[in-house]
Amino acid sequence: MTMPTIPYDLMAERTTLGSMLLEREAIIAISSQLLPEDFYLEKHGLIYEAMLACYAQRIPPDLATVSSELRKREHLDLVGGVTFLSELLTEVPTAVHVEYYASHVARTAILRRLIESGGKIAALGYETSLDLEVTLNAAEETLFSVTQRQHGAEFIPIRVGVQEYFDHIQRDEDEGTVPTGLVDLDSKLTGGFRPGQLILLAARPGMGKSGLALSIAYHLGVRQRRGVAIVSLEMSKKELIQRFIAMHTGLDNRLVEQRARQGDPRILDALGIIAEAPIAIDDRVGVSIFGIRSEARRLALKQPLDLLIVDYLQLLVGDATTMSRVDEVTRISRQLKLLARELNCPVIALSQLSRAVEQRAGRVPQLSDLRDSGSLEQDADIVLFIYRADQDDENEGVCGRTEIHVAKQRNGPVGIVLTHFDAPTTHFRNLSHRKSIDF
């Protein structure tokens, strides 16, 4: 029986490198798709690494500049000298097909990593001492890293990071931000949330935590048609959809179902619009942090994901082996932060406040009021509190001016933003007179 061979395509590797030596624009087309580790032959990877170094210095990667860079790195003789580079250059009549050949290099690299991951997953299967959910999560993370092309990219030269930062500041400053739809809050957040951020949204009962989170989801998913995932441990899919309908139509949330049964055309129109929004909902009861990571990864592979909302953090199931609820919430908050970085999208986690806020005059929330774990404040990039001075729990039907306290922002100012909360539709809206207050 013939043993299968390791997948690679040396001709595609040589043609890709030759195309970049031939045409200075070729590296722009593929630099974001390939890593030096994607090349099967080590010397091909060293040549590509030298090309990336030239590109980072804004120098065209031609025969002379790449030879010079390799010589500086003491790799020129290792790759076969200028003679080998000249061979690569003469083998390629045109660089027009560079993306096609680069895709073959990337494909075989992924297949090799898949083989490597298969071995790691098989080894996990023999680790009988580990908790099953931990083992499954580790196996899935190993496989997910292949699809996300993360292998081998933990460390990068700072010049590559500098180039990426330069490219970032050259782009529109709002590109990549996730707006909330509340202009004053977006202004305070310098445009909105950022990929990789963990945002904690906390308040006393009845202040509208879910309303604010769903208002942001409605703005992003329904109005802007950007991908949103909602993990709802407190409300069902039906209740979430009903709230979206209320926000869209302006009807009282409590009357939506009755009006729908009567065939109200506003609701039928709203259903059609909401149905087309790229919003995904998970309303399973008792879902674990590992379950959220698993489902979010799968969703991110199917569609672009711009925001993940978890409502709410204290209802999540953590690691059953932890000693206390504080340890469990600490583990959950850190996993949510890691998930935000992994998916490269902001994660909004709703949180309860401790009873200490009820004993304080004015009941103004503070960071110390975050419930169950001091790590919540530490892990969060942004902490938002909702506050209304004239609103008690039993009077929650009143509409009116509501404060959103930006109590922590890792890379920006803190302060108070004024909004309008419409309780019948559970919708947060901009105030007609825009004001914000700095601490």
Which residues are identified as catalytic?
234
> How many Cα atoms occupy the beta-carbon half-sphere of 49 within 13 Å?
21
SS3 231: strand
Six token digits for residue 39 = 């090349």
How far lies 128's CA from each of 70, 133, 135, 141, in Å? 48, 12, 9, 18
Q: Is 176 left (phi over 0), alpha (psi -120 to 50) or beta?
A: left
Q: Quick one: angle between helices 265-275 and 237-249, nearest 10? A: 120
For the chain, how many residues are written?
439
Tokens 């938002």 -> residue: 384
Q: Residue 359: which residues within 8 A CB-CB, separation 6 or more?
A: none
Backbone CA torsion sign across 92, 96, 100, 105:
positive
Nearest to 341 by CA among 296, 372, 377, 310: 296
**Residue 413 · residue 197 · CB < 8 Å:** no
Distance CA 209, CA 396 (A): 13
DSSP, collapsed to helix, strand or coil, labels residue 134 as helix
How far out from the chain centre does Cα 403 lie?
27
Q: What is the DSSP letter of 7?
A: P
